[in-house]
Amino acid sequence: MYQGSFVAVVTPFKDNSEVDFEAYGRLLDWHVDQGTNGLVPCGCTGEAATLSHAEQKECIRFAVERVAGRVPVIAGTGSNNTREAVELTRFAKEAGADGALLITPYYNKPTAEGQIAHYRAVAEQVDLPIMLYNVPSRTGTNIAPETTATLSTIKNIVSIKEAAGSVDQVSQIVKSCSINVMSGDDSLTLPMMAVGASGVVSVAANVAPAKVAALCAHANNGDFAGARKIHLELLPLFKALFIETNPMPVKAALARMGFIKNVLRLPLTPLREQMWPKLEAVLTELQLL
């Protein structure tokens, strides 16, 4: 199903906090040119939580039209309100997205039964490939491997972005079912691919797309020595992009690289001044400036 480096692309804003579609288009084109295998707009890194539904739909449509089939576009359509998730996923299908990324319902903290019912409702009402998104650090709940296995029996639930921070959990998923697994943690991409994941939905690929794509390509071709070399080279970047809450560091990096303005939507704020030297040192070391 999905393979390689899928970028969890940021949403650029103008100084007045409106979406900067000119910068957005440049970013999308750059990722395709750099060998990115797929694009994921309107996820956590894309600040979907502070986009209005109208803005989220506009970003999804824009990404689909700009990419024009060059690589898959997996639209972020998750919500802790199942009706909203259905509505957004239905829009993504109508807009021509290749799939939808749906985060586990957050704040509500549903049981396994609730998780299954939520995803089943979306899958049954919208015939679009669905990637589950398990990120307990943001949602407060984990999708257990046995729950993932149950969900994998629903025909259009085809993948999971696994960001629980556990290679053991990925191993259990791979052992229990045949769902496609994508890492949701850059620093664990290589270990997860070693046990059966096929790629990553990446934050770091926002700033080093060619390198992350190459890491995944080496691993998928069985060249784990080549993948390990890139992993170790990029490890400082993987860590630097989480010195504060994502996407604060990655937006700072892209602004320093000249791609976007360093503007976030409240309650997120720009990277604190004292954190800049750490980030700049890594960007300089990797020759990204």
Nearest alpha-carbon partner for 4 in 249, 157, 259, 201: 201
> For position 227, what pLDDT does the model report?
98
229 in active site: no
Position 259 in a domain: no
**For 73-95, how does the pLDDT look when each residue is reduced to its tens digit (9 = 90+)?**
999 999 999 999 999 999 999 99
Active-site annotation holder among 57, 161, 211, 251: 161
For the domain that residue 105 is a member of, what is the CATH number? 3.20.20.70
Position 258 in a domain: no
Mean pLDDT to the nearest integer, 47-63: 97
261 in active site: no
**For 200-245, how does the pLDDT look when each residue is reduced to its tens digit (9 = 90+)?**
999 999 999 999 999 999 999 999 999 999 999 999 999 999 999 9
Write down the H helix ranges in the chain: 21-33, 53-67, 82-95, 112-125, 136-139, 145-151, 167-176, 189-194, 209-220, 224-240, 248-256, 276-285
Mean pLDDT to the nearest integer, 236-263: 98
> For position 123, what pLDDT does the model report?
98
- The number of distinct structural domains making up the chain is 1
pLDDT-derived band at 37 (thresholds 50, 70, 90) equals: very high
Active-site annotation holder among 24, 133, 211, 251: 133
Residue that has been written with the tokens 């984990």 in this structure: 142
Give the phi and the psi of residue 101 in degrees, each rounded to 5.
-100, 120
**For 147-193, how does the pLDDT look when each residue is reduced to its tens digit (9 = 90+)?**
999 999 999 999 999 999 999 999 999 999 999 999 999 999 999 99
pLDDT-derived band at 1 (thresholds 50, 70, 90) equals: confident
Residue 48 has pLDDT above 90, yes or no: yes
Determine whether 274 is exposed, middle or buried from the number of CB atoms within 10 Å of its CB (0-12, 13-18, 19+): exposed
Nearest alpha-carbon partner for 144 in 112, 113, 174, 175: 112
Residue that has been written with the tokens 């985060």 in this structure: 103
> For position 42, what pLDDT does the model report?
98
Position 244 in a domain: no
Query: Residue 34 has which token pair?
Result: 């750099």
Position 267 in a domain: no
Q: Residue 15 sits in which domain range?
A: 4-223
Query: Residue 223 has which token pair?
Result: 């060249």
Residue 71 has pLDDT above 90, yes or no: yes
